[in-house]
Amino acid sequence: MEDLLQRPRRLRSSRGIRSMVRETRLSVKNFIFPLFVVPGTGVKEEIEPMPGSYHYSVDRVVEAAKEAYDLGIPAVLVFGLPEYKDAQGSSAWDDSSPVQRAVRAIKAVLPDLVVITDVCLCEYTDHGHCGLLHRDEVANDETLPLLVRSAVSHARAGADIVAPSDMMDGRVGAIRRGLDEAGYSQVPIMAYSAKYASAYYGPFRVAADSAPQFGDRKGYQMDPANGQEALREVALDLEEGADIVMVKPALAYLDIVSQTKATFNVPVAAYNVSGEYAMVKAAALKGWIEERKTVLETLLSMKRAGADMIITYHALDAARWLAEEKE
């Protein structure tokens, strides 16, 4: 065979050379670790469909946040299960609810850890939908003031970033105005801009006790078939004042992550959601896949697609594995 001028394999011939020409590098600084806070004391209970993930009471959640911080993870995303639910979801803006108490507790011990809070009503309403109901339909405009109250209460507790996940039209602008008027103009908004009506959310709905009591969320979350619509949603959120935009889920929507980054060149978060996590965990427990390699490859694909931040339940394990690779 005649000599070839181009032999791509030359740059794959050793670990050192592969490292030198590597195009994408996954870092612990890319991770955001989700935390589920519940009422009570002394609680650390594994979430059944999400092995390795836990419900924490406020007194225990600081331990989990510190573990993440000590591993170099820069941020946590806090979800809460309230002590009471009603039709409005009023516990969402109750300063004594678990999320607000957890934020205060974490910031008191770990002031440099970035604390992000999920802003939605689904965990707090007795019907499980993400907004106020009117004749069994989610009333978009009537929901906005409630989301604003929730976001402001999180900022008052000390949240560094608020992250509206409800998919109501106009909620980013409403929250931006509400934060500014309340004196929190420095608090950024991480918008769940392209959030799809996905089957991958099942384990999360168990973890957050947030499944709708009737119907589904297809009337406000996006149709999985639509890509251009996602870019319109991102554009609208940026116009309304979003500082970071998010694509959720991540793995089945890497094309949307890539298009979002290429089109807007703004900070992009990808949410490696509960169903993606649970599938890897289940297969690994069966011995069908190698968990470490699968997780790191999956997270790397999200970074390669354009994600600057990756929200993932694998964060603690992935941080340890990346640290071992450096040794």
Closest among 30, 38, 39, 40 to 73, alpha carbons compared: 30
Does 85 participate in catalysis according to the annotation?
Answer: no
Which one of the listed residues 195, 261, 281, 303 is annotated catalytic? 195
Are the C-beta atoms of residues 257 and 270 closer than 8 Å to each other?
yes
From the list 44, 85, 218, 248, the catalytic residue is 248
Distance CA 309, CA 112 (A): 17
SS3 state of residue 228: helix
Q: Between β-strands 75-80 and 54-57, what pairing exists: parallel, antiparallel or unpaired?
A: unpaired
CA angle (96, 102, 107) in 5-degree steps: 120
Whole-angstrom CA distances from 199 to 66, 249, 275 are: 32, 10, 8
The Cα 81–Cα 315 span in angstroms is: 22
Evaluate whether 120 touches 82 at the Cβ level (below 8 Å): no
Can you read off the two tokens belonging to residue 122? 């689904």
Q: Which amino acid is at 174?
A: A
Tell me if 81 sits within 8 A of 315, measured CB to CB. Answer: no
**Quick check: helix, strand or coil at residue 311?**
strand
The DSSP code for 277 is H
Is there a catalytic annotation at residue 248?
Answer: yes
Residue 210 DSSP SS3? coil
Q: Which residues are catalytic?
A: 195, 248
